[in-house]
Amino acid sequence: MRIAVVGGGPAGLYFAILMKKARPAAQITVFERNRPDDTFGFGVVFSDATLDTFERYDTPSYERITREFAYWDDIAVHFKGTVHRIGGNGFCGCSRRTLLLILQDRAKALGVEIQYSTDIRDDSELQDYDLIVAADGINSLFRQKYIDHFQPETDLRPNKFTWMGSTRPLDAFTFLFEETEWGPFIAHAYQYEPGHSTWIFETDPDTWQRAGLDQMGEAESAAFFQRMFAGFLQGHPILTNRSIWRSFPMIRNKRWVKDNIVLMGDAKATAHFSIGSGTKLAMEDSIALYEALIRNPDLQTALAAYETGRREEVEKTQHAADVSLVWFEHVDRFWDFDPVQFAFGVMTRSKAITYDNLRLRAPEFVDKVDRTFAEGVRRSGFDVNLDKPVVPMFQPFKLREMRIENRTVLSPMCMYSAQEGVPGDWHLVHYGSRAIGGAGLLFTEMTCVGRDARITPGCTGMWNDEHEAAWKRIVDFVHANSAAKICLQLGHAGRKGATKLMWEGMDRPLEEGGWEVLSASPLPYYPDSQMPREMSRADMDRVKAEFVQATLRGERAGFDMVEMHAAHGYLLASFLSPLTNRRTDQYGGSLENRIRFPLEVFEAMREVWPAHKPMSVRLSATDWAEGGLTPEDSVEIARAFARAGVDLVDVSTGQTVREARPIYGRMFQTPFSDQIRNEAKVATMCVGNITTADQVNTILAAGRADLVALGRPHLVDPAFTMKAAAWYGAAAIHCPPQYAPGKDQIFRNSVRDRADLDDLKIRGKPKTRAELAMGRDTPLAAE
């Protein structure tokens, strides 16, 4: 087999090593445009887990690499005169040049041919090869030539960065955040060998331009940062090596394989430097391609297996990198945070690190996080314990005069189990059990303001006395038997109405028994859905009056709070999104016009709802579709509702149009809550694939939301919050006397269970290479 590897970076060389070792008879040639010791940049960084992988696949290169590495365990966050060091991370740094020389030597020792200063311009030059591995980087010629086949997407991120170095020794992966007259600057720095450290400087494009960096060359830029970080550099110089200013390109390809050509490394996909995974990702591509070729009988099957088997892991890494880079792009959102909370946000920005595993790594730091959060709660008027504060999840919160005992919320979830809009025994048990289970706040399912406002025939309503009485029965039970507060979510289905029950065909039109549907514009949800009638002014007045009457009924039923549903493509949301609002009158066109009717409805509701009781609005912060609502639009919408008297924005996303393409994942909607909370300066509730108490604490402690709503976890575990309270020792949680023995038992057992689990995790965690280098017998977190 003849294999051509185009690109002699770490990925191409490592693949050649693995293949040549497994198939000595294969003829493998690496074509590299540069000379043997040419390289840009300074250091590369790997985690301990990545080095473990290298050890399994090629011990000789692993042993040479690890002899050259600098090891560290801490991450140090410098912000506003403070330094927070968080241990137990297990990172290693190495000179990029050294890494290349090690891999070059290993490849040549195995018999791989490396042709330096050879620039392959076209695959026609390689027609005698059975396999062409395109490891030719971000500007891949192969990807460009076959652009229609590979279908790359390049998202050029706005922040500007440059890769420099220094002789300043560092004993931690260091983040420095510097406030200047031009704006914020960030330095990502780590040592990769004695006397040498990598320094990546980053800032937003406006700050970059205001500082005049757009007019500076390498030497001037280096001198600029030499002055800025002089106190930290302690006389050490800033060094350059092709240190040009760039914007990071996030690259994805729809396809990775064409005939006998396969993309690998940055040619295939990039991951932002803020999670230190670019070289890691590329070398793991090498391993995946090698494994596919060894395990499959023919080339095409092997290449297909590589693409399908590797894609999920690559996309997960890219998603983490996306979330991380966005945090750095919008660091100004968090500039007013307490330094402890800011440092916690740095550590948890990509979702890879959470509250619980950070507590195992750095318990003293997380104690500071808990105290800082509690201090903020005390400043808001609560007499909470600062010496031994409970975790953020169990700190109280206040909206107007409504006190919520903890931050866990039963998310609004349609049960589709009402009869002519009347909630029955199912709803009493559903809401009652979750209230007894400890949730601080319950949201009803979307409760419809009129018979023709329903999504399905099974939706609850609030348009007559029977509905009001049935809801009062539920509210009274919640108040009598728990400390929970309960919010009535009111909505109108709009063009998504007159559809089947969820388990019969979600959003599919009723075959009989339907009713006329309304929307901002006459656009059906599905092509075969009922065509909605465009709302007239008379329709608007009628619907507004229905919302007002339902609000008044909610007050008589005893609800603590009311929410107006303006998300998910329902009636009010159809006005907000340009994808569903094509009107040419004063309610269409500009964002100011599109928000007009939803604001009218909210203001009318607010006028009749008691002033001491809070109100919220549910928004889809993005439509996940081209031409739809953007997060920036939603910040403006949130500001408008805040001016109108909203106390909380319930942040969801999507479900506006069928062609939406959401990017799912853990806590996937939390970044939108983060943006609205910290830019619009309004309290938010986040929701969306949040499944654990650990995630709740992570979100709250990082300042990404004020309340956290969970849906599916509550469906299978009504006592979700009570169990979490036992786990974290939040003994003050309310429990009805009938269930008190159960509470006592789970609190006693949880102390032992948590200690056992923590001990198991610590003992099961291998010592980091930094710990081994220091001669430690136990992991740092155990000390």
| Positions marked catalytic | 570
DSSP per residue, 439-481:
-SEEE---EESSGGG-SSTT--B-SSHHHHHHHHHHHHHHHHH
Distance from C-alpha of 390 to C-alpha of 364, rounded to nearest angstrom: 15
The residues with which 409 forms a beta bridge, in sequence order, are: 441, 709
C-beta of residue 617 within 8 angstroms of C-beta of residue 573 = no
C-beta of residue 602 within 8 angstroms of C-beta of residue 644 = yes
Report the DSSP pairing between strands 246-253 and 152-166. antiparallel
C-beta of residue 441 within 8 angstroms of C-beta of residue 716 = no
How many other C-beta atoms lie within 10 A of the C-beta of residue 631?
17
User: Minimal CA–CA distance to 709: which of 493, 556, 492, 563?
Assistant: 563
Q: Phi and psi at residue 359, in whole multiples of 5°? A: -65, -35
Distance from C-alpha of 392 to C-alpha of 695, rounded to nearest angstrom: 11
Q: Residue 297 corresponds to which tokens in the numbers above? A: 């009988």
Placement of tokens 């009805």 in the chain: 736
Report the DSSP pairing between strands 196-203 and 152-166. antiparallel
Cα distances (Å, whole numbers) of residue 3 to 260, 363, 754: 10, 51, 53
How many other C-beta atoms lie within 10 A of the C-beta of residue 509?
18
Does residue 685 sit in helix, strand or coil?
strand
Distance from C-alpha of 76 to C-alpha of 387, rounded to nearest angstrom: 25
Distance from C-alpha of 6 to C-alpha of 13, rounded to nearest angstrom: 10
Distance from C-alpha of 555 to C-alpha of 613, rounded to nearest angstrom: 10
Distance from C-alpha of 131 to C-alpha of 123, rounded to nearest angstrom: 11
> Crossing angle of helices 363-379/339-348, nearest 10°?
130
